[in-house]
Amino acid sequence: MNVTVRKGDTLWYYSQLFDVPLQLVIDSNEMENQESLEPGRKVAIPGYVRQTYTLDKGESFWSVATKRQLALDTLFLLNPDLNPKELKIGETIYLPVSVGKAFVKRDQPYDSEAMARDINRLTTVYPFVKRETVGKSVEGKPIYELRIGNGEKKVHYNGSFHANEWITSSVIMTFLNDYLVSLTNRRTMRGLSTAPFYDQVALSIVPMVNPDGVDLVLNGPPEDQTHREKVLKLNKGNGGFKDWKANIRGVDLNDQFPAKWELEQKARAQAPAPRDYPGESPLCEPEAKAIADLTKKRDFDRVLAFHTQGRVIYWGFEEHEPEETETMAQEFSRVSGYEPIRNVKSYAGYKDWFEQDFRRPGFTVELGSGTNPLPLSQFDEIYQESLGIFLASLYL
C-alpha cells in the first residue's frame, strides 16, 4: 500500500502509525534519508492493502476509525483529497487493511504461472522482499530468487529440482508467506519471535528450479513443437507425465553438479530420459548453471534443497562437511521427526557440490512419504513437519 507524504511526515512516524517495524518500512522504500521526506512522494507501507468503504448516514472519519479500530490519522493520510467536514452518504473512502493471513493457495497444483502470481503479490504487499531473475529455463521461463533480511548469516532454500516434486515449491512459498505475515504483524512462529531473524539472516529462496519440468508434469506437453515431440518420444508416447523428474530436455538437474559427476554418469541413464540422465557434462543445463552461479555469487553459509519423498534429511559428502553439519542435522530431525542420514552413495547433487566446494553445511530434505508426485492431501502434514526445519535453519 502506498501513501502520499505530507509535510513533516517521517518513516518512523509511519511505522508507529501503522504498527509496522521501522526497518521493514525503510527496506520497502530503499531510502537513505529516513528523517526528511519530500511532500508529495509515494511511500510504501508493507503488510497493508487499501480497501474501499462506502459511508453510511451519520458516519465520519472518527466513527469509522473507532469502529474499525484504526488510528484516525490513517484515514486522513489515505484520503488527502476529502474534506472530513463535508462527507456525504454513499461517498467512498479508503481504509488501510493489515494483511493478517497468508494468501498463497495450498490446495491446488502449483505450476510456474501460479508461483509467478504469488511472487507478484508478495513483492507488492511486502516490498522489502527483493526479487531477481537469476537465470532462465530451457524454454525461457524465469528462475526467480527472493531475498529477505539484512543479516550476516546467509541461508538458501530451493525447491522443485525435480519436476514431479512440485509440491516443494508450494511448501516453500507457504512458509515465505507465513514468515512475512509474522514479520509485519510482530507475531511468533512456533513460539519464536521472527524479528531477530530479519536482522540476523539474509535469506535467499529459489522456489522453483525447474519450471519447464513442473509445467510438463502438471499441464502436459508444451506448445513448442520441437520440445513437444521430444518429450512425448522420451515418454514413449504417453501423454501423462506424472513420473517425469527431468527438465524439458530430459536431464536430471540434481545430477548436474561437479561432485564426482563422472561416477554418477556411469551409474545413471546414458541418454535423455524422464529421469536419472546426468547430461552431457556438469552444469550443461541452464537451470543447474543458474543455481551454481547464484550460489557462488551469494556465498551462502548453508543451503537446504527440498525434495520429496522419504521423510529423511541427507547430509554429508565424502567428509567435506564441517563438524556443525551433524549438530544441525540432529536439530532438523528433532523438530521434524525426519531421519538424518549421512553419506549416501550418490553423487553430483547440489548439496554434494556445495559441501565439496564450500565446505559448509548442506542438506537435502526429502519431504513427505509415498509415491511422487505426492498428493495435496499430504500438504498440511508436510508443511507442519517442514516448518520446524525452516525455522531451525534460521536460528542455528
Give backbone dihedrals phi and psi of 267, rounded to 5 degrees, phi first: -90, -15
Q: Residues 263, 347: contact at Cβ < 8 Å?
A: yes
Q: Residues 331, 392: contact at Cβ < 8 Å?
A: yes
CA nearest 209: which of 174, 255, 240? 255
Euclidean distance between CA atoms 247 and 278, whole angstroms: 11
Euclidean distance between CA atoms 396 and 267, whole angstroms: 36
Annotated active-site residue 38? The verdict is no
DSSP E strand stretches across the chain: 2-4, 42-44, 48-54, 92-98, 130-136, 142-148, 153-159, 188-189, 192-193, 201-206, 302-308, 312-315, 339-342, 362-367
Answer left, alpha or beta for residue 329, where phi above 0 means left and psi between -120 and 50 means alpha: alpha
Q: Residues 75, 55: contact at Cβ < 8 Å?
A: no
Concatenate the DSSP letters of all residues of 86-109 into one string. G--TT-EEEEEEE--S--S--SS-
Instruction: Choose the catalytic residue: 139, 165, 366, 385.
Output: 366
AA identity, residue 334? R
How many CB atoms within 10 Å of residue 316?
A: 21
Euclidean distance between CA atoms 363 and 352, whole angstroms: 9
How many CB atoms within 10 Å of residue 4?
A: 14
For 180, residues 6+ apart whose C-beta sits below 8 A from its C-beta are 47, 122, 125, 126, 129, 148
Q: Point out the residues that are catalytic.
A: 366
